[in-house]
Structure 1
């Protein structure tokens, strides 16, 4: 076995059904009593439910969490935070709300409790992506990691099947890149395979029956494991592309990950045979071909396959390729402008991924 380093991130996880009711107990355990609640404009009712659970003992609610964590929204939230005298942050929602909670926590030092309602996985990572002037940049710091994560399967039961699918594939992407990460290790490989296995089985079941509590529980479990992989291993081409495309062209986060993933994997495939085998082993119907397995999964989920479906123009392909190759970053295969451009063009057009880049 090769030498490796593994470091577990110190977050506390509460997993199950009805676990949101443990929020008052968790705040009390931490000696906190005046949280600022965070949510998106679409999830104010869930923030209101939290306020009821806490018996009204909150500093207030900021409901403008926004996709890609724009710095200007964070600055607006900071002003609200200062005016309320909050002693902690409780974020309920998906990646947008989690990102805002992270941005506020790293700026203020306040304890951050995260309550995910999607399969984003960012709640268990020390990574923050922020957008300013049309560019999305990421940074990593142990202080960014939320202190407590409360996974409540009940909160995912009303997540639309289509969003469940793309959110779940976004989570799978974390594990895919962890399998060939420069700083990967055997422990993360095990978590990555188990996370993909759980999600690849659960997501088609959710699309077929969104009310399946068993499938919802498995998907949330898988997303947690994939999030751990994201937080413990360096990401490569896929995540770089998605940050570039999402931040620059204002594309939806989970949907962009879903479209790009099989193409990014196809690009790296020649350099990562071991990772391809590990992935193929846990993707149903792959027949030993991980790209085939991913294409098959996306077909089962019925998701949109083209970035053009989300507003990206064909004229943007060249610029996206330039941005994606402008800065050096770890990737198993050297970045080549021509093949990267073709990768993005295929993703834009909605073509099935092929291992010929």
Structure 2
């Protein structure tokens, strides 16, 4: 074996039903006394108990998908105006992304409290959108110092969003099998992540957005575990073909992040799997299936997963506009050589919601 693997420094706390106490302990460990709590209006009820035990200098609720540059600027101004010394983000990937945007220019430490399976909390990747273009980068300053996972916070997540978010996490695992820096450790983490996500997601699809007993939270916790492993492997392996496609489409057409990933994933897997036999075997084994494509298809059918980009606002005439930016972004070591015709065919299939297996 010849490879170099870097493990990112981060505390991870699983604390079912105890998010407020766990976050307070993490903030105290940072020595922070003036916290900026970032949570959208939709997450206000979940954020209130956390806010009650923190030294909150300001609460900020302007959270926008894909983190537009002007939204990031306003959040940075709020942080400076209130002289904050730490950031606590409570919400999904957009909320974590906004905290990262503030940390990128200020160096302020972040404590992330996820309420979806986005995985952004476990990576040092940031993303900002301006004029229809989403730019991403890697910077150690944006990696949250601590992550607090509390399954009880995800009980009210609507079923459709829970499924899409979980499949977004699964996409991290798949990209980690052949990302530009993928190594054996990444593949091992990604394989376990797929197994955990495939085990947890069906239970979540049945109970998301409903009240139930503790077993429901066990399914959520299993999925959070898988989403964390997915993000850790992805942070190391780097962004592969799948994520490059979704970043271009999301920034260009303002598509919903999780649903876009859920739709595109089976098409990228079917495209790459024939030229990545080791990754294909690992993914198939994690699903407990004869093939990777069949395993994903069976899970998606069980979850009633998002199927077509056209259902989420992607214009058909946008396909030719997206091809060149995607070709420019796809890593050179993608398992299958990528041509203009390949990208066009893949986008056409994803737009229409064609089956891959």
Q: Normalization by structure 2: what TM-score? A: 0.95
Distance 2:46 2:57 in 1: 16
Q: Do the aligned partners of 2:76 and 2:102 also contact (CA within 8 Å) in 1?
A: yes
Task: Name the count of aligned residue pairs.
Answer: 349
Q: Do the aligned partners of 2:240 and 2:330 also contact (CA within 8 Å) in 1?
A: no
Which residue of structure 1 lines up, in the alignment, with residue 13 of structure 2?
A: 14
Greater CA drift, 41-50 or 108-117:
41-50
Runs of 4+ in structure 1 off by over 6 angstroms are none
Distance 2:114 2:318 in 1: 33
Q: Do the aligned partners of 1:89 and 1:111 also contact (CA within 8 Å) in 2?
A: yes
Q: 1:325 aligns to what SS in structure 2?
A: helix
Q: CA deviation at 1:128?
A: 0.6
Distance 2:217 2:56 in 1: 31
Distance 2:41 2:203 in 1: 29
Gaps of 5+ in 2: none
Q: Do the aligned partners of 1:17 and 1:152 also contact (CA within 8 Å) in 2?
A: yes
Q: Do the aligned partners of 1:47 and 1:61 also contact (CA within 8 Å) in 2?
A: no
Which residue of structure 1 lines up, in the alignment, with residue 44 of structure 2?
A: 44
- The counterpart of 1:67, out of the listed 65, 68, 71, is 65
Distance 2:254 2:86 in 1: 30
Q: CA deviation at 1:81?
A: 1.1
Distance 2:354 2:36 in 1: 44
Which residue of structure 1 lines up, in the alignment, with residue 117 of structure 2?
A: 119
Distance 2:30 2:327 in 1: 45
- The counterpart of 1:301, out of the listed 287, 300, 303, is 303
Distance 1:116 1:99 in 2: 11
- The counterpart of 2:349, out of the listed 309, 325, 346, is 346
The 5-angstrom pairing of residues 1-357 of structure 1 reads 2-20=1-19, 21-54=21-54, 57-210=55-208, 211=212, 212-284=216-288, 286=289, 288-327=290-329, 329-330=331-332, 331-353=334-356
Q: 2:169 aligns to what SS in structure 1?
A: helix
Q: CA deviation at 1:322?
A: 2.2
Q: Do the aligned partners of 1:19 and 1:151 also contact (CA within 8 Å) in 2?
A: no
Q: Deviations over 1:260-299 (max 9, x none)?
A: 0010111112221110110001114x3x211111111111
Q: CA deviation at 1:47?
A: 2.6
Distance 1:66 1:52 in 2: 25
Q: Do the aligned partners of 1:19 and 1:152 also contact (CA within 8 Å) in 2?
A: yes
Q: Do the aligned partners of 1:19 and 1:150 also contact (CA within 8 Å) in 2?
A: no
Q: CA deviation at 1:327?
A: 4.2
Q: CA deviation at 1:46?
A: 2.3
**Two-structure CA RMSD over aligned residues (Å):** 1.3
Q: Normalization by structure 1: what TM-score? A: 0.95
Distance 1:293 1:270 in 2: 15
Distance 2:139 2:76 in 1: 20
